[in-house]
Amino acid sequence: MQIKKILVPTELNEISEMATEYAVSLAGQLNVGEVVLLNLIIPAHHQAFYAAGQPLDAKGQLTDHLNMVIMQKHEDLIKKQANQYATSKVKITPQVRFSNSMSNLNTYMDEFGAGLIVCGSYDKFSFLEILFGSPTEKMVRKVDYPMIVLTEEPVSDEIKNIALAVDVDQPIHEEINEIIFLAQHLHAHLQLVHVIDNDGVKAANAIDKLQQLAKSRNISDYSINVLNNESVENGLNSFVRKFNPDIIAILSQGKGKLHKLIYGSETEEVIRELKIPVFVCKSE
């Protein structure tokens, strides 16, 4: 994993400002020199003026003028936000685009050369609500890059303790390298967490598999945590409340229970319940 830039989709509201501030702090810790702020606007269309009684030859001019006014307003706002949070080490590049698709960030990630998305998810009917809300599975599947999602103000911008949820029953894909990279470059302790939600896995077997994982991936600064709970969601919530990690990472891991946690219909609810930044990474 090599991060040259971090992309922050922004709605120019409080939760987006929180994500921007967090992204700049993370960029500084990772020696990433640029954060791209991206504000997407759904353009006004000619049809919007039909009901207003405007003549057909005027509707195009009215639409173009309205879009120009909206674009200028958003450019002014996003530049203000960029100036507010830029630092001597991390510059912020503001971008405003018209887009009818509010979920496909891959094109913009490729265009700006970004390797990580940091975003907030709170306001109803905002871009990020649409991204992580219903239909969750369809939306999240379109994003091929790792994401850090915030739902409220982090206790600390400094990441020193990372919880990594692992399903020992599923194969570990290369996306785990994204989290290992993050932990190593932040000099953070990695807590490997497995939740036993059925009688099929023995605790000793789970511990052995987690130890093998750490050894095979050359993870040196880590601890192993195996806990029993009726569900993975509740188990992870219990772990977060007890051990207070700075961030929790979740791998999709094939078609197992963590995959369902990420791509299922309750994704947004799970992220909200965890109440700390969530690093989501899908299999390639």
Biggest distance spanned by C-alpha atoms of the chain: 75
Mean pLDDT of 147-160: 83
Q: What is the pLDDT of residue 20?
A: 95
Q: For residue 207, give the amino acid letter.
A: I
Mean pLDDT of 138-151: 76
* Structure token pair of residue 168: 């020992």
Q: Report strand pairing: 91-98 vs 34-41.
A: parallel
Helix (H) or strand (E) holding 53: none
Q: What is the pLDDT of residue 139?
A: 47
Q: What is the pLDDT of residue 123?
A: 46
Mean pLDDT of 3-25: 91
Kindly indicate the confidence band of residue 154, based on its pLDDT and cuts at 50, 70 and 90.
confident
Q: What is the pLDDT of residue 127?
A: 53
Is residue 22 pLDDT above 70, yes or no? yes
**55 vs 271 pLDDT, higher one:** 271
The tens digit of pLDDT for each residue in 101-118 reads 656 788 999 999 999 999
Mean pLDDT of 159-178: 89
Where is average pLDDT lowest: 155-164, 212-221, 275-284?
A: 275-284
The tens digit of pLDDT for each residue in 62-82 reads 777 788 888 999 999 999 999
Kindly indicate the confidence band of residue 136, based on its pLDDT and cuts at 50, 70 and 90.
very low
Mean pLDDT of 122-133: 51
Q: What is the pLDDT of residue 192?
A: 97
| Range picked from 84-93, 119-128, 271-280 for highest mean pLDDT | 84-93
Mean pLDDT of 7-19: 89
CA atoms within 13 A on the CB side of 119: 27
**166 vs 264 pLDDT, higher one:** 166
Please give the Cα distance from 271 to 274 (Å, whole number). Answer: 5
Q: What is the pLDDT of residue 50?
A: 47
Q: What is the pLDDT of residue 199?
A: 64
Q: Report strand pairing: 278-281 vs 147-150.
A: antiparallel
pTM: 0.85
- Work out the burial of residue 199: count CB atoms within 10 Å of its CB; fewer than 13 is exposed, 13-18 middle, 19 or more buried: exposed
Give me the numbers of helices (H) and strands (E) for the chain, helices first please. 10, 10
Q: What is the pLDDT of residue 222?
A: 97
Mean pLDDT of 163-175: 88
Mean pLDDT score across all residues of the chain: 83
* Structure token pair of residue 144: 């091929």
Where is average pLDDT lowest: 4-8, 153-157, 171-175, 218-222?
A: 153-157
The tens digit of pLDDT for each residue in 181-236 reads 999 999 999 999 999 987 667 899 999 999 999 999 999 999 999 999 988 889 99
Whether 124 contacts 154, CB under 8 Å: no
